[in-house]
Amino acid sequence: MAYPQVKQPKISDVIMAQLEAMILEGSLKPGQQLPPERTLATEFEVSRPSLREALQKLSAKGLIVSRQGGGSYVSEKIGSSIADPLTELFSTHPEAQYDLLEFRHALEGVSAYYAALRCTPADKTRLQACYANLQAAHDQKSFEKETKADAEFHLAIAEASHNAVLLHTMRSLFTLLHENIYSNLESVYRKRDTRQVIHDQHRVLLDTIVGENPEKARNAAHDHLTFVKEAIIEQSKDSTRQERAMRRSGI
89-139 tens-digit pLDDT: 565 566 667 777 788 888 999 999 999 999 999 999 999 999 999 999 999
Q: State the amino acid at position 180 in one-letter form.
A: N
37-57 tens-digit pLDDT: 889 889 989 998 888 898 888
Report how far residue 210's alpha carbon sits from residue 51's, in angstroms, rounded to the nearest whole number. Answer: 38
| Average pLDDT score over residue span 62-73 | 82
Q: 3: Cβ–Cβ under 8 A, 6 or more apart, which residues?
A: none
Report how far residue 11's alpha carbon sits from residue 7's, in angstroms, rounded to the nearest whole number. Answer: 12
Alpha-carbon distances of 221 from 158, 236, 244, rounded to whole Å = 12, 23, 35
Report how far residue 251's alpha carbon sits from residue 249's, in angstroms, rounded to the nearest whole number. Answer: 6
Give pLDDT, residue 81.
52
Q: How many residues does the chain have?
A: 251
Indicate the pLDDT class of residue 80, thresholds 50, 70 and 90. low
**What HEC string does 132-183 produce?**
HHHHHHHHHCCHHHHHHHHHHHHHHHHHHCCCHHHHHHHHHCHHHHHHHHHH
Does position 207 have pLDDT exceeding 90, yes or no?
Answer: yes
For the chain, what is the radius of gyration of the CA atoms?
23
| Average pLDDT score over residue span 151-179 | 85
